[in-house]
Structure 1
Amino acid sequence: MKKSSTELKRSILLHGAMAPLALIWLFPLWMMLVFSTMDDNGIFSPGINLAPSTHFAANFAALEADTGFVRATTISVLVAIAYTLLSVALTSMAGWALASYRFVGKRTVLTTILGTLTLPYFVVVIPQFVMVARDFHLDNTWFALIVPPLFNSLGVLFMRQSFLMMPGELFDSARVEGVKEWRIFLFVAMPLARPTLAALSIILFLHSWNNYLWPLLINSRPEMMTAPVALGSLIGLTKVSWGGIMTGAVLLTAPMLVVFLLLQRHFVAGIAAGAIK
């Protein structure tokens, strides 16, 4: 009974300490929602209004008229889904090869992958743009939006660690039985890595969903704009549509919060699985 009372006190203290931190994190999200329901004059009014207003529909109508936001969001969804599926497949195969096979230059490959994690994206993006747009003439295409960013070094290392944690005897017994390597990978290793795959899928989808710089560089056609680029186009030299930006930000953030809340158990399990050896 005494132990139960001590645990209850610790739980109360922990929740009491974490609640203010949670409120600090949630307050900007709430103000984003409030601002999305105001016109520009209301956003820049002297006082701080914590209650939503009634201009959300008007802001959305203006946002759609200025940017074609529904079309841009549809493009972002399609690109993010394709990118996630292809990148998960690519990083899983690379992680499996690095975890299961011995080959000449394996240490060099691992060192190179680790080294790419230290490179800022801005160092890579310009040569990547020159190669895709000037050399291959693939700018303003779906291929350019999806394929060049596919390889994810962190995802490769993440999947490699997950495969290394699995019992090697299970794969060896399958090889003794004559099971082909691709079947071992697809039907033995991949199901065991399901929590890690779920966590990696969430990370990659959010990465694509929030990507702004690469779609901005590689596409110049308005009909190929992704949603973050569409929101960025509202910032002009003489006018900034803050109500439209806040409305678009809410529409882009809310689905991701819902998805994360629904899948947080798989996300935490995948992160833990990839972190413990």
Structure 2
Amino acid sequence: MALYKQHSGRKIAPYVRNAAIAVVLLVFAVATLFPIYFMIISSFGDPVEAGAANYTLWPKKISFESYLFFFDFSKYSYRWLLNSLVVAGSVMITNVVLASLAGYAFSKIRFRGRNVLFSLLLSAMMIPYQVTQVPLYILIVNVFHIENTYSALILPGIVTVYNIFLAKQFIGSIPTEIIESAKVEGCSQLQIFTRIIVPLSKTVLAVMAILTFVDSWNTFFWPFLVTNTMEMQTIQVGLKNFRFANTTYFAPMMAGAAISAIPMFVLFFSLQKYFLEGVTVGAVKG
């Protein structure tokens, strides 16, 4: 009898452990998805109801009035979305191109001072983002005088040290023998990069593209600093215009937030295959 109970206990233990893990993961999933659910549900509420600060998990009536209110509220609503697309798209493209070029140079090209320069770049990653905002703002406004322009929104994020580090680590894992063989065949460095490195680095480039686009799209503080007209605001900054001293048009604000989330979902699901490969690369050997 004792042996039977012990054997039964061994059979039950894995099921209990798996059930506990499933419950924990379910809790984390609910906590992660609830803000998205609340944003979408709130966006279908009535603008007047939300303006009265009547927040519920389910609106009294479901309508698209808040979406119409969002676009009718200001003539700049479409411009906000366009600005965000221009800025986030430009920052994403420049980061993918420049970071991959720098990563290739640091990992496969030998030149004097390579390690010192790369160490300086890594040390720059230790500086908090907030510390650089004041000198960067002075540089943009007082030195170059390009505030309230696309240049002011794009140039500070044209390439990041993190993306250079990410590209360097991935490209460094590509066998050097492939590059040496290409050199023997007469390929230049640019041909090696475009015909060998880029095709083999699609996974890391997709990861860089998604993370950079999402980060630039969601940035609020820097566009808020360097834009002083509604015409040049991005969607994240423009949403603050729905908040007033006495009330907040909560449902239209959530409608704008839901609309602003669409490009990120489209980009992620378009590059989902490469993104998942980039996340799991190196996890399995053999």
1:60 partnered with 2:67: yes
1:79 partnered with 2:87: yes
Secondary structure (helix, strand or coil) at the match of 2:271 reads helix
Query: What residue number does 1:35 align with?
Result: 42
Using the alignment, how far apart are the partners of 2:100 and 2:156 within structure 1? 17
Using the alignment, how far apart are the partners of 1:276 and 1:153 within structure 2? 27
Write out per-residue CA displacement over residues 86-120 of structure 1, whole angstroms, 9 at most, x where no aligned residue: 11111111111110122232222222221222211
> Aligned match of 1:270 in 267, 278, 282?
278
Query: What residue number does 2:110 align with?
Result: 102
Gaps of 5+ in 2: 1-10
Task: State the AA in 1 paired with 2:242.
Answer: L
Maintained 8 Å contact 1:196/1:274: no
Query: What residue number does 1:178 align with?
Result: 186
Using the alignment, how far apart are the partners of 1:115 and 1:99 within structure 2? 18
1:192 partnered with 2:178: no
The Cα of 1:45 is off from its aligned counterpart by 3.4
Maintained 8 Å contact 2:42/2:58: no
Write out per-residue CA displacement over residues 220-272 of structure 1, whole angstroms, 9 at most, x where no aligned residue: 12211110010123233343221221111111124423432443332121133
The Cα of 1:189 is off from its aligned counterpart by 0.6
Gaps of 5+ in 1: none
1:230 partnered with 2:238: yes
1:19 partnered with 2:26: yes
Using the alignment, how far apart are the partners of 1:259 and 1:11 within structure 2? 37
Using the alignment, how far apart are the partners of 1:196 and 1:111 within structure 2? 21
Secondary structure (helix, strand or coil) at the match of 1:54 reads coil
> Aligned match of 1:153 in 161, 165, 170?
161
Query: What residue number does 1:139 align with?
Result: 147
1:240 partnered with 2:248: yes
Q: CA RMSD of the aligned region, Å? A: 2.7
Counterparts in 2 of 1:276 and 1:180: CA distance versus 1, 3 Å: farther
Maintained 8 Å contact 1:34/1:53: no
> Aligned match of 2:54 in 37, 45, 48?
45
Write out per-residue CA displacement over residues 24-78 of structure 1, whole angstroms, 9 at most, x where no aligned residue: 21122111111112235357437x44367324x3222332233422221122112
Maintained 8 Å contact 1:60/1:247: yes
Identity of aligned residues (%): 27
Farther-moved stretch of structure 1 (17-26 vs 122-131): 17-26
Q: Which has the larger radius of gyration?
A: 2
TM-score of the two chains, using structure 1 as the length reference:
0.87
Using the alignment, how far apart are the partners of 2:269 and 2:60 within structure 1? 23
Counterparts in 2 of 1:276 and 1:212: CA distance versus 1, 3 Å: farther
Using the alignment, how far apart are the partners of 2:85 and 2:178 within structure 1? 38
Counterparts in 2 of 1:207 and 1:36: CA distance versus 1, 3 Å: same
Counterparts in 2 of 1:226 and 1:189: CA distance versus 1, 3 Å: same
Counterparts in 2 of 1:41 and 1:52: CA distance versus 1, 3 Å: closer
Using the alignment, how far apart are the partners of 2:17 and 2:269 within structure 1? 22
Task: State the AA in 2 paired with 1:132.
Answer: I
Task: State the AA in 1 paired with 2:31.
Answer: I
Counterparts in 2 of 1:276 and 1:121: CA distance versus 1, 3 Å: farther
Counterparts in 2 of 1:105 and 1:233: CA distance versus 1, 3 Å: farther
Counterparts in 2 of 1:40 and 1:31: CA distance versus 1, 3 Å: farther
Counterparts in 2 of 1:189 and 1:234: CA distance versus 1, 3 Å: same
Secondary structure (helix, strand or coil) at the match of 1:139 reads coil
Farther-moved stretch of structure 1 (267-276 vs 153-162): 267-276
The Cα of 1:17 is off from its aligned counterpart by 4.3
